[in-house]
Structure 1
Amino acid sequence: MRRINWISTNEDWTLDVCFTNGEVRKYDVRPLLQSEAFRELEDVAIFKTARNGGYFVAWDNDADLSADTLYLEGIPVTPAIESN
């Protein structure tokens, strides 16, 4: 199970997510905004309430996304840092 180190919200409704392996991926939330669970995130103020739950990202409106979803569907920004 993947774990999140930190997240950053962007003005274009994307998240930058850094995982514990050092890899950063960009996840686009815009396609989800049409579903009822994520519709409130169209308000950028609510979108910006995203918080790191370790194994998920959650918002104040009770919407959430798992770390696995963010990793598997996110676009790599940096390669994983291998530890020796």
Structure 2
Amino acid sequence: MHKVIDVKPVDDYKLIVTFDNGIVKEYDMKPKLNEWPFELLKNKAFFKAVKVDTGGYGVSWNSDIDLSEFELWKNGKDINLV
């Protein structure tokens, strides 16, 4: 599985995720915002505090809220940043 090397939160509760193979995907968080513990991400300041986990195994906001690299890869949409 490809590792995450960068994540950027953008408006409308989406993440722009860059993988170690150069592929960039957009992951829409909106469907998860009504699930525990993701509902805490409705706070935009908290949502924007996302970071890449050590080793690139996913992204996280704190020790309870995270997404794996597999989830981001499988359910993210390929985007072209040109």
- What TM-score does the superposition give when structure 2 sets the normalisation length? 0.89
Deviation at 1:76, TM superposition (A): 0.2
In 1, distance between residues paired with 2:75 and 2:11? 19
Q: How many residues align?
A: 78
Query: Share of identical aligned residues, percent?
Result: 35
Choose the corresponding residue for 2:65, options 59, 63, 66: 63
Q: Which moved more, 1:55-64 or 1:37-46?
A: 55-64
CA displacement, residues 2-57 of structure 1 (integer Å, 9 cap, x when unaligned):
20111100021000000000000000001000101100000001101100011110
Structure with greater Cα Rg: 1
CA RMSD of aligned residues (A): 1.1
- What TM-score does the superposition give when structure 1 sets the normalisation length? 0.87
Unmatched tracts of structure 2, length 5 or more:
none
Residue 81 of structure 1: aligned partner: none
Alpha-carbon contact 1:17-1:26 (below 8 Å) kept = yes
